[in-house]
Amino acid sequence: MNPTFDPTQLRTEANEKALSLLGSLVLPPGTALAATGSLARGEMTPKSDLDLVLIHTPGDTPSDVDEVWYPIWDAKMRLDYSVRTPDECAGMISADSTAALALLDLTHIAGNEELTAEARRKVLDTWRREVKKNFNDVVDTAIARWRRSGSVVTMTRPDLKHGRGGLRDLDLINALALANLCNRAQLDEERRLLLDARTLLHVHAGRARDVLDPEFAVDVALDLGFEDRYELSRALAQASKKIDDALTESLNLARNMLPRRTGIRRTVRRPIDADVVDVDGEITLSRRPDLTDPGLVLRVAAAAARTGLPVTEATWQRLQTVPPLPERFTPVVASDFFTVLSSPENTSRVVEKLDEYGLWTGLVPEWEHIRGLMPREPIHVHTIDRHSLVVVGNCAAQGVSVPRPDLLYLAALYHDIGKGYDRPHEEVGAEFVRAAADRLGLSPQDARVVETLVAQHTRIPQIATTMDPTSDEALHAVLEALGYDYLAVDLMEALVEADSTGTGPGVFSSALRAGLRTLSTRARERLSRIVPAPPTVKTRGALTLDVDQSRAMTSEAETTATLGWRGDYLRESVRVFALVAAKGWNIDSAELVVHEAASKASESTANVELSMRVYNTLGTGYDENELVQTYKSGVFSALPEIAGALTATFWDGDVLEVRTTDRRGALGTLIGALPPLRWLRMSNPGATMIVQCALEPGFDRAVVEREVTKALANR
């Protein structure tokens, strides 16, 4: 280590200089001078501010306070001061939780020591009282800070002080400990590393600074004895991860220590999926879960992504004992995997929890290589693993705007997963995603699409920004790169935008946006849209239920079946959908045909035929006789109310395509809002319900779109 820049010595000298300067101040009679912040903690750097409080007795406000501070200003040191009584110091705890953390470090410097002790005692008493009443506000303040500053673990430009896992979080742990809600943090080595890096950052930047940019990280790393800035980043990430984990544990402990309202409240248990239960707003396992079922991990994770509910720590620990999935996922397991990737708000949190408990690399084995990997490109603001999840979240926000959201999510997850090898990352990633597509059971055509997306995701923005997007040459280059595939064009446009906005500020520039839009529009115009093919439905009775015998030896044998139905008119099908919803079954796919005789209202001919693949989320199997009896009883004839969600409509002549977030009762609700139709086909890729239907002539597009939006989006 360069002795000129020994961070411990630098802090010692800065503290001594500050104390020497403060010793020369002339205080008003009867007052006390106290410090907060870095000086109070003995962590001053050469560029730190002085945070001081001049404490006085009530009714004895000192005059000419500015005269006190002139020596500090003359020394060219930055000063942040306040003049308060002990009661006013305590009052700041209630008014500002950020100020509370600073005042908890209140340390006597000069003057009336008893006055400082009184102020500190009142501050601590108020803090211990207020934090128990306003604990959620304290947590919300921390969350808002994390959103502003990001995570030290995953940012390429980490905020060492305010970021998640940074110095401020250590202060929060210690503040909770002072309130007797948790133990004091035993993370001296981790704190020292962050302090050393921040001290040297101040030196090399020549000013107070908390964000460690790459250009400063190089020198800081060398001063601290690291090989390069990447090794320093890994060390900082490891230290911050420990701090973050300690804070999570402290917050949970503090929450449990808070006084609870008296009274007896019954625990509410609500099944979400097979062996997955919501208990008072937390996801846990059923009382007797099948821990030998390899699909249980993804069912829990999918439920967390879908509902936004937290999974209890005990549940994650139990899931570590579940056996690994087979090399090739079953369709239900694959669907759960895509559901995990489908939430803009929850996907990152769920994946991070899976990874924390060693469950993610069993699903995505290539993740091990990119965990915490620093990008070589300076425009990136996140580590590669974090960037990948940000891009997946961005794609999830566009889920109803693309025809195959499941393929988009998979491409987003793998688009940069090939980085860090000795070959182009697009090439490596394409190989990885092809293997993932095989594991997930995607068709060869779908596998080719995701392989193309990953292989060409850097080529398309290059064409859009370096060539004339209105030229035939640029159009040909895009079509050639995407294999003249209409679906690939749609998905690539969404992926490039999600990748660019997830990389860093200004990457999705106006030039890239305009070029991408122009080329994508021209490519779609050049490629003829495939005409939707009407389904052919053959049912064997009025209401039938067939378990797929090919799955008889798999874990899906009791959860997956094909339901067939015949009826006289379309609206009658609502009873079937109501029954399916009441039983808690999910609809994975559906095909419906309205025969010509339906227009004549013939009572002797089955005019409507419906076939749909259903999934029993409770894993209780199927009973055709019971289903028929329940249907005939008419007990379940009304669809459940559905929550509004993102909904998009697209037209091709008289064929309407509706895309919306999949939820129970959505398909039946949609059919109830549609005018007469000839046929309908529904699929459920990536937790998005996609319905194509051919409408009978005579409809008004505006009316149809209004009714569909009203039914599914609740607006």
pLDDT in tens, 417-438: 999 999 999 999 999 999 999 9
Instruction: Report residue 9 as tokens.
Output: 């010595």
Q: What is the mean pLDDT of residues 252-268?
A: 71
DSSP assignment letter at 382: B
The pLDDT of 452-461, averaged and rounded, is 97
What is the per-residue DSSP string for 128-159?
Answer: HHHHHHSHHHHHHHHHHHHHHH-BTTTBSS-B
Q: In this structure, what token pair is assigned to residue 323? A: 């056996």
The answer to whether 527 and 489 are in contact (CB under 8 A) is yes
pLDDT at 260: 66
In one-letter notation, the amino acid at residue 210 is: D
For residue 257, give every residue at least 6 positions away whose Cβ sits within 8 Å of its Cβ, in sequence order, or none. Answer: 180, 181, 182
CA-CA distances (angstroms) from residue 487 to 14, 310, 417, 521? 62, 35, 22, 13
- Return the SS3 of 44: coil
Residue 528's pLDDT band, with cuts at 50, 70 and 90, is low
From the list 519, 514, 445, the residue with the least C-alpha distance to 489 is 519
Please tell me the predicted confidence (pLDDT) of residue 552.
47
Intra-chain end-to-end CA distance of the chain, in Å: 64
Which residues contact residue 483 at a Cβ distance below 8 angstroms, ignoring those fewer than 6 apart? 448, 452
Select from 324, 326, 320, 302 the least CA-distant residue to 358. 320
Minimum mean pLDDT among 56-70, 191-205, 354-368, 656-670: which range? 56-70
- Give the H/E segment covering residue 587: strand 585-594
The amino acid that residue 701 corresponds to is R
**Residue ranges with strand state E in 14-85:** 32-36, 50-55, 79-84
Average pLDDT of span 596-605? 51
For residues 261-266, give the mean pLDDT: 56
Amino acid 634: pLDDT: 85
**Token pair for 227:** 């090989």
pLDDT confidence band for 59 (50 / 70 / 90): confident
Q: Strands of 543-547's sheet, edge to edge?
A: 543-547, 560-567, 608-616, 585-594, 677-683, 688-695, 655-661, 647-652
Quote the DSSP letter at residue 164: B
Q: Please give the share of the chain, as a percent, with pLDDT higher than 70.
A: 94
Which is nearest to 425 in space by CA: 456, 379, 446? Answer: 456
- C-alpha 589/C-alpha 40 separation (Å) is 64
CA–CA gap between residue 615 and residue 631 (Å, rounded): 18
Q: What is the mean pLDDT of residues 253-265?
A: 71
SS3 helix, strand, coil % of the chain, rounded to 5? Answer: 50, 15, 35
Side chain identity at residue 83, one-letter code: V
Task: Check residue 553 and give its pLDDT.
Answer: 43
Arithmetic mean of pLDDT over the chain: 89
Tokens of 94: 């209630």
| Total Cβ atoms within 10 A of residue 74 | 9
pLDDT at 160 over 60: yes
For the beta sheet containing 269-273, the strands, ordered from the edge strand earlier in sequence to the opposite edge, are 269-273, 276-279, 282-285
Distance, in Å, from the CA atom of 591 to the CA atom of 533, rounded to the nearest integer, reads: 11
Which residues face 278 on adjacent strands? 270, 283
pTM value is: 0.74
pLDDT band at residue 274 using 50, 70 and 90 as cut-offs: confident
Query: Tokens at residue 124, please?
Result: 């601590």
**pLDDT at residue 604, as a whole number:** 42
The one-letter amino acid code at 358 reads G
Q: Which of 212, 234, 245 is nearest to 153 (CA)?
A: 234
Q: Which helix (H) or strand (E) holds 94?
A: helix 86-95
Residue 2 pLDDT: 47
Q: How many CB atoms lie within 10 A of CB 267?
A: 6
Residue-wise pLDDT tens digits, 290-317: 999 999 999 999 999 988 899 999 999 9
Q: Is the CB of residue 405 less than 8 Å from the CB of residue 399?
A: yes
d(CA 340, CA 159): 29
Tell me the mean pLDDT in the region 577-585: 91
pLDDT at 50 over 80: yes
Strand 79-84, strand 50-55: pairing: parallel
String of DSSP letters for 387-421? HHHHHHHHHHTTGGGSS-HHHHHHHHHHTTTTTTS
* Residue of 470, 407, 460, 467 whose CA lies nearest to 434: 407
Average pLDDT over every residue of 139-149: 87
Which pLDDT score, from 0 to 100, does residue 255 have?
83
The label of the residue with tokens 């090919």 reads: 550
For residues 664 and 341, what is the distance between their CA atoms, to the nearest angstrom? 19
Q: How many CB atoms lie within 10 A of CB 714?
A: 12
pLDDT band at residue 36 using 50, 70 and 90 as cut-offs: very high
Q: What is the pLDDT of residue 60?
A: 81
CB contact set of 686 (below 8 Å; sequence gap of 6+): 338, 339, 341, 342, 399, 404, 405, 406, 407, 408, 409
| 521, 580 Cβ separation under 8 angstroms | no
Are 593 and 609 spatial neighbours (Cβ–Cβ below 8 Å)?
Answer: yes
Tokens 């849209």, residue? 529
State mean pLDDT over 446-473: 96
Instruction: Report the percent of the chain where pLDDT is more than 90.
Output: 62
The most confident of 89-93, 252-256, 412-416, 581-585, by mean pLDDT: 412-416
- The confidence score (pLDDT) of residue 154 equals 80
Those residues whose C-beta lies under 8 Å from the C-beta of residue 316, and which sit 6 or more positions away, are 353, 356, 357, 359
Token duo for residue 122: 């009142």
**pLDDT at position 70, please?**
92
CA quadruple 7, 9, 12, 13: dihedral sign? negative
Helix (H) or strand (E) holding 50: strand 50-55
What the block records as the tokens of 90 is: 């305590």
Instruction: Please list the alpha-helical segments (H only) found in 179-279.
Output: 188-205, 214-223, 229-257
Assigned token pair, 380: 């990136």
Of residues 376 and 190, the one with the higher pLDDT is 190
Question: Which whole number is the average pLDDT over 650-666?
Answer: 89
pLDDT at 708: 95
